[in-house]
Amino acid sequence: MPNLKPGDKKPALTMYEIARLAGVSQSTVSRVLNGNKSVAPDIQANILKIVEELNYRPNMAARGLVSGKTLSVGILTRYMGSPFFSQTLRGMAVGLTGSGYLPIIALGSDLGSEDLDALKLLLERRVDGLILQVGWRFSDEYLHELAAELPLVVVGQNIPGLEDHCIVVKSFDAAYKATAYLIEKGHTCIAHISGPLFLADGIERRNGYCQALMDHGLEVIPELIVEGDFMEGSGIVATEKLLEQRQKYPFSAIFIANDQMAVSARLALYRRGVAVPGDVSLIGFDDQPDSQYMIPPLTTIRHPAYQMGMLAAQAVLGLLDGKRLYLPDLPLELIVRESVTIRSQ
């Protein structure tokens, strides 16, 4: 190896150099690095020793040219600042660790055209597999076409005909459980701040709330259901709207469709001098990390965002390996803290 001057870049070690040092052919080195078991154990051990000692890093682009793969998984996500999306993304990254596949992340936005542009960017990069967290932006027909072209996993939405490619949780059941818990604590007039009602999560959580009220003989009052958008600002606006009607509809509890809106709802109540849980009890959804540090700590539904991300990564790797998907149900657990109190009759 030539002498290097200060600032010179160390030349990359090649398979040719490894083969020369090991006294074997490049194809033998390639088989060992790709996990092929047909190489004699002593030769394999010698090659791996050289690789470790010289810190060999394979050229991924060259390997992709040989295999016809890019060794990448495209991820279309949203709102990097959102605790839910960031936890799910972290789970995906961990799920891909050690697989040889790297994530390529594209961010969509509230504009459908930008979601489409981000997806096109991933497809132009010729990713080997695709994970979508924003499947609602695309027609079912288009998603079927994508699934026919490459391994596809959709997080957070059920696509008719592609159910075995979708990772969802039972939001209806969890919302029912949250509302029933408030009723068990003596609350008979319960408001709801929903998520966007064009999304399955928003609709299912509202419907679970309504069903729990009806099953317990309580009236569903449309004025006590205010639509939010899962972001903090809408939690404040929705709470203010509810408080303006409280004299007519004296609610004693609010079930809120996610923790981000619950935190800001708590702020709106504080500004109006409404005590939590003394005057109004709160229950959220997601169990984001900061929820346990809210004042008072928030009772909520634990949403397995990190596990969903890991499962999505494992599922797309399984598809890439030609395996049939098996996506188990993920439990949603009620986490009882201090934001709900017993309502005296």
Are residues 141 and 109 both part of a single domain?
Answer: yes
Are residues 289 and 177 both part of a single domain?
Answer: yes
- pLDDT at residue number 57: 64
- pLDDT at residue number 345: 64
Are residues 295 and 318 both part of a single domain?
Answer: no
In a domain, 342, yes or no: no
Give percent above pLDDT 70 in the chain: 89
* Burial (0-12, 13-18, 19+ Cβ within 10 Å), 42: exposed
Q: pLDDT per position in the chain (345 positions), as tens?
A: 444 344 444 445 677 788 888 899 888 887 777 666 678 888 888 888 887 777 766 655 555 544 567 889 999 987 666 788 889 999 999 999 988 899 999 987 766 678 888 899 999 988 999 999 876 678 889 999 999 999 999 998 888 999 889 998 999 999 999 999 999 999 999 999 999 998 888 999 999 999 999 999 999 999 999 999 999 999 999 999 999 999 999 999 999 999 999 999 999 999 999 999 999 999 999 999 899 999 999 999 999 999 999 999 999 999 998 888 778 878 899 999 999 999 976
In a domain, 2, yes or no: no
In a domain, 134, yes or no: yes
Are residues 145 and 267 both part of a single domain?
Answer: no
- pLDDT at residue number 131: 96
In a domain, 208, yes or no: yes
Are residues 209 and 140 both part of a single domain?
Answer: no
Are residues 180 and 297 both part of a single domain?
Answer: yes
**How many domains does the chain divide into?**
3
In a domain, 6, yes or no: no
Domain interval for residue 201: 171-303
CATH assignment of the domain containing 41: 1.10.260.40
Q: Which distant-in-sequence residues (6+ apart) come within 8 Å of 95 by Cβ? A: 309, 310, 311, 312, 313, 314, 317
- Written as one string, the DSSP assignment of 153-220 is EEES---TT-GGGEE---HHHHHHHHHHHHHHTT--SEEEEE--TTSHHHHHHHHHHHHHHHHTT---
